[in-house]
Structures are given as C-alpha cells and as structure tokens.
Amino acid sequence: MVPPPKRVDAVEVHNTTDHPVKFKVAYDNHKDKSEIVEEHTVGPKSSHTFGEKQLDMGGWQPLPPS
C-alpha cells in the first residue's frame, strides 16, 4: 500500500487492470475531527477523479495555499 501524502486537493485514480477495482478516499474534516469518505468502483482500463472538498468551518471556509 502507498503511504498517504501530507496534503491533496483532489485525487485521480487509474485502473490499469482488466477487472473493476473499488477505490476509497478519505478526506480529513478538521472542524469536527472526522473523515469524509468516498468510494467509487473504476472499470477496467478507466480512471476517476475524486474532486476537491470545501470545508465549512462554521463561519468561514479555508483557502488552499497558493
């Protein structure tokens, strides 16, 4: 298994196999210390992008570093 990076805004996964593969991505929700988890099954020789998540911090939203 590949270790997770320190920070990502979106994740693109590629399935290079000849069978469907289920991917699971967990986003850290810093507001309440929980995770936002998304799963997607990618067909053979296909890809999928898990998009950027906007965190609601109660009265403000964080901006990604430039």
For residues 13 and 38, the answer to whether their CB atoms sit within 8 Å is: no
CA atoms of 34 and 8, how far apart (whole Å):
17
Cβ partners under 8 Å of residue 23, min gap 6: 13, 39, 40, 41, 42, 48, 50
Task: Walk along the chain (66 residues) and give the pLDDT tens digit of each residue.
Answer: 777 666 677 889 999 999 999 999 888 766 677 788 899 999 999 999 998 876 666 676 666 555
pTM (2 d.p.): 0.68
